[in-house]
Amino acid sequence: MVTTFCEVASLIRFDRLQASYESATRFSADASHQLKTPVAVLRAGLDHLSRETGLSGPQAAEVAVLRQQTRRLTALIEDLLLLAQADAGRLVLEAEEIDLLPLIAAADDDLQALVAEKNIRVEDELPTTLPARADRRRVSMVLQNLVENAAKYTPAGGTVPLYGDGLNVRDWLYVEDHCTGIDKVLRAGVAGEIYNIGGGNEVANRELRDR
């Protein structure tokens, strides 16, 4: 077998890129672990300070802002650790039977604080309980990202609806269905139009979960 100079050079470059990638992954994991403790201490101190009765209105508002920022920093650290674990192939989901409602309520509180100055109304329409089998920490991270995006991209004076009981019906498509639909739109569609293509496979979210 003959190996050309270009092939050898390509292999060397790949090895260097792989080593650099692994180094970046280790750094992300180490950095996120090192940051978690001091941020947790800072957040605990701010939580304690927020319960003090002698704070003036402006002081209490400033503490609330700082608490919000530490929550955001905590979420960023968790995201960094999650990405590092996923890149290293060590991400493990700890699924258990949980009630999603307390997690959603916590996210709702964060959302209310984030949109207060933008005159954005949050509309809640939730059941009394929302059982699911999921990873509690990962769900919390997803909810945190969702509320931050909602606060960021909802225009001032708008509304953020927060609802769900798992009974909404969706039409679930397989990959081959998507390919057929995309091909049909490309051949016969009109530029600028939006097409919703059903697959004849409508089930409720909870029904899909239980399958």
pLDDT in tens, 18-68: 555 565 556 666 666 677 777 778 788 888 888 887 888 888 888 888 888
Task: Give the chain's count of helices (H) and strands (E).
Answer: 6, 6
Tell me, what's the pLDDT at 2? 44
Q: Distance between the two ends of the chain, CA-based, in angstroms?
A: 52
pLDDT at 12 over 60: no
User: 31-40, 134-143, 190-199 — which one is most confidently predicted on average?
Assistant: 134-143
CA distances, 65 to each of 58, 60, 70, 117 (Å): 11, 9, 9, 12
Radius of gyration of the chain (CA): 24
Percent residues over pLDDT 90 in the chain: 1
pLDDT in tens, 146-160: 888 888 888 888 888
Predicted confidence band of residue 1 (pLDDT cuts 50, 70, 90): very low
Residue identified by tokens 């051949």 is 187
The rounded Cα 170 to chain-centroid distance in angstroms is 21
Q: Per the structure block, which two tokens stand in for 64?
A: 């609330």
H or E segment to which residue 170 belongs: strand 169-171
- Each residue of 116-136: pLDDT tens digit? 888 888 888 888 888 888 888
In 107-158, DSSP assigns E strands to 121-125, 131-135
**What's the residue count for the chain?**
211
What is the CA 41 to chain-centroid distance, rounded? 24
The pLDDT score that the predictor gives to residue 16 is 59
Mean pLDDT of the chain: 76
> What is the distance between the alpha carbons of residues 121 and 158, in angstroms, rounded to a whole number?
6
pLDDT at residue 17 is higher than 60? no
Q: What pLDDT does 97 receive?
A: 92
Distance CA 70, CA 197 (A): 43
Residue 178 — pLDDT band, cuts 50, 70, 90? low
Residue 8 pLDDT more than 60? no
| pTM as predicted | 0.51
CB of 73 within 8 A of CB of 36? no
Tokens 């672990």 sit on residue: 33
Question: Could you tell me which of 100, 115, 125 has the C-alpha nearest to residue 157?
Answer: 115
Distance of CA 210 to the CA centre of its chain: 23
